[in-house]
Structure 1
Amino acid sequence: MADCVVTRAAALVDDYLLVWVLISVAVGLLVPSIVVLTPLSTPILAIMIGAVSLTLSPDQFRQLRGRALLVILVVQTGMPLLAFAIARALGLSPALTAGFVVLGAVTPELVTPTMTELSGGDTALSTVVLVVVGLGTLVFVPGVVTLFLGESVTVDSVLIVEQLLLAVVVPMTLAVGARYRWPDRIGQYDDVYPSVSGLMVILIIGIVAAANASLVRDGGSVLVLVAAGAVALNCSGYVTGWLVSWNFTRDERIAATLSIGMRDFAVAAALLVGAGFPTVATLPAVIFGIVEMTTSAGLAKWFSRPK
């Protein structure tokens, strides 16, 4: 009975994730007082990363082509540059530019493997990309912030590293280790872990929306520019992923497209908050989250259509 309830609850989260995200954003904007939950961002993020990492079995690290993985990882390193160029072209402030740069530098969205599965793509490949990029962000995020922003936004890089360790690297390492040590025990709940991760996404985006409530309400032309930048970054990532994987199998191309186009807005927002960036810097993450949830759902339907 209990398992049935959990399964139904998990399906409710998975099947209507976009709806829940939109509701969460609306609640955050209408009830900005929930910003008091901001200190919980790091543990929520750690649960989100840890839950999705529990799905990773050792076989997933062996059943993929190294060349496909390498191409995707190389292109991933160019996403912060693309994000920076878009922000500068739109004439955004240093804080908003920082938000876009961090958004470009973080991992693919945690639901990317799920969207890849729904699209009929190579789920193992998108999952391994998520893990490798997640570990790489420990050095990559502080590096690109310094490279592209310099002294325009004063942030302690030590805080960024601390957030990455606590919220990404440690939970991911522990989860993969647990999966390796107790594969059968951990594996019996594989259908639930993505739902737990999705629930954490819903919580994070609500908190971030609350922190940005006044900015969104009074954003005016700035909000329009940020939305335009979010659409440009998201769609450019999809196009880039599809083009650079022209000689991959169809399954690999789908994984590449989604892995490069989808950015983890919840991770970006939590890192920005935890590392001491101005609150306005999380606005690109909030808007991007809404954009990518919508576009990825559309792509999943397009890729999975009858041939």
Structure 2
Amino acid sequence: MRYLERLAQFICKNMTLWVVILSAIAFFYPAPFKPIGKYISYLLGVIMLGMGLTMSLEDFRLVLTRPKDVFYGVFFRYLIMPLVGFGAAKLLGLPPALAAGMVLLGAAPSGTGSNVMTYIAKGDTALSITVSSINTILAPVLTTYIFSFLAGSMIPIDVGALLLDIVKIVLVPVAAGVVLHMLVPSLVEKLAKVVPAVSVIFIVAIIASVVALNSAKLATMAFILFVAVVIHNTAGLLLGYYAGRTVGMSRKKSRAITFEIGMENSGLAVALALAHLDPMAALPAAVMTVWEYIAGSLLASYWGNKPVDGIAAPAGEAIAAAK
């Protein structure tokens, strides 16, 4: 078991490296990776199950004790990023499929990577975990209808099918994970050290598949796509922080909101794009998976070396490995 734990840590620690290597291979030799596309929704379901295994009812306690903070986190998440995605697509004149992919990426809930970045940045980790959990639970309704409203003029959208897919891919696996956490906590505690590595492997496989499916188009669109994603992520991080400060949040809380806004569940956006849109619409989310961890870790490290509101965060604070 110790060997597996060390291997899992190695896999998770070098996630960006695996994404870059496998994506490069998939770009030049796409054939072996294309068949994975048919199974992306299942792979993402396993990833969301893993997320559910790390969640408990305690994660929702702040909804009752600090409802205003949680509301702001959810409200800003689903207000800022869809509009930023829509604005970036219009500003750069992206073709309809890529534009829709940008909006879908923005309308997705925050990703679990935001919790890790918040911890490193000495932000309010409890707030980050709660906001991520609520964002994920609300995704079937909010992601579906926000995306439909903003992207409906770009491409045809089957709202009912999209909502059902998000329920199946996100809500059901997450709920199953939470239930298992409640019923067999000792088993889940053991699995928690390995589950993140499984999620990383599946995410890398998903991204490689997207690159393979779009290898021909990616060669001509790489630059504009990269610019769009950088604009999207940078604007999200900046607006997330200053939105928090504007409504009176402390720097510690605002750091949490920053990553809740700027880091997205790009895997979900990839799966939905491949299932309901042109495969090219999955490219923004695939690129974002790499970029948001690079930008997020740089910002988190910078903040982590600075005091929060004039007081250094406790040195012994810990966070669950998968959160």
- TM-score, structure 1 normalization: 0.92
Aligned amino acid, residue 66 of structure 1: P
- Native 8 Å contact 1:241 1:253 kept in 2: yes
The aligned counterpart of 2:15 is 17
The aligned counterpart of 1:178 is 180
The aligned counterpart of 2:142 is 140
Moved over 3 A (4+): none
- Native 8 Å contact 1:237 1:261 kept in 2: yes
The aligned counterpart of 1:87 is 89
Moved more, 30-39 or 181-190: 181-190
Per-residue deviation, 1:269:
0.8
Residues 174-211 of structure 1 deviation map (CA, whole Å, 9 limit, x = unaligned) = 11111122233322333333332222211211111111
Residues 110-139 of structure 1 deviation map (CA, whole Å, 9 limit, x = unaligned) = 322222223332333222222211222211
| Structure-2 separation of matches of 1:87 and 1:294 | 22
| Structure-1 separation of matches of 2:185 and 2:125 | 19
Q: SS at the partner of 1:205?
A: helix
The aligned counterpart of 1:301 is 301
Label 1:123 to 1:24 Cα distance change in 2 as closer, same or farther (>3 A).
farther
- Native 8 Å contact 2:109 2:143 kept in 1: no
Q: SS at the partner of 1:218?
A: helix
Per-residue deviation, 1:270:
0.8
Per-residue deviation, 1:265:
1.6
Per-residue deviation, 1:304:
1.6
- Native 8 Å contact 2:236 2:262 kept in 1: yes
Per-residue deviation, 1:60:
2.3
**Identical residues among aligned pairs (%):** 26
The aligned counterpart of 2:240 is 241
| Structure-2 separation of matches of 1:224 and 1:291 | 13
Residue 200 of structure 1 pairs with residue 199 of structure 2? no
Label 1:110 to 1:213 Cα distance change in 2 as closer, same or farther (>3 A).
farther
Residue 255 of structure 1 pairs with residue 256 of structure 2? yes
Label 1:152 to 1:253 Cα distance change in 2 as closer, same or farther (>3 A).
closer
The aligned counterpart of 1:272 is 273
**Aligned residue pair count:** 301
Per-residue deviation, 1:273:
0.5
The aligned counterpart of 2:312 is none
| Structure-2 separation of matches of 1:53 and 1:24 | 27
5+ residue gaps, structure 2: 308-323
Aligned amino acid, residue 17 of structure 2: V
Per-residue deviation, 1:257:
0.7
Moved more, 258-267 or 181-190: 181-190
Residues 233-290 of structure 1 deviation map (CA, whole Å, 9 limit, x = unaligned) = 1011111111122233443222111110011221101111012x11111121122222
The aligned counterpart of 2:318 is none
- Native 8 Å contact 1:121 1:255 kept in 2: yes
Q: SS at the partner of 1:113?
A: helix
| Structure-1 separation of matches of 2:256 and 2:268 | 20
Per-residue deviation, 1:141:
2.4
- Native 8 Å contact 1:55 1:193 kept in 2: no
Aligned amino acid, residue 263 of structure 1: E
The aligned counterpart of 1:127 is 129
| Structure-2 separation of matches of 1:174 and 1:23 | 33
| Structure-1 separation of matches of 2:159 and 2:58 | 35
| Structure-1 separation of matches of 2:126 and 2:187 | 20
The aligned counterpart of 2:160 is 158
| Structure-2 separation of matches of 1:205 and 1:92 | 21
5+ residue gaps, structure 1: none
Q: SS at the partner of 1:81?
A: helix
The aligned counterpart of 2:219 is 217
Residue 50 of structure 1 pairs with residue 49 of structure 2? yes
| Structure-2 separation of matches of 1:286 and 1:95 | 14
| Structure-2 separation of matches of 1:193 and 1:251 | 29
- Native 8 Å contact 2:27 2:211 kept in 1: yes
Q: SS at the partner of 1:272?
A: helix
Q: SS at the partner of 2:203?
A: helix
Q: SS at the partner of 2:202?
A: helix
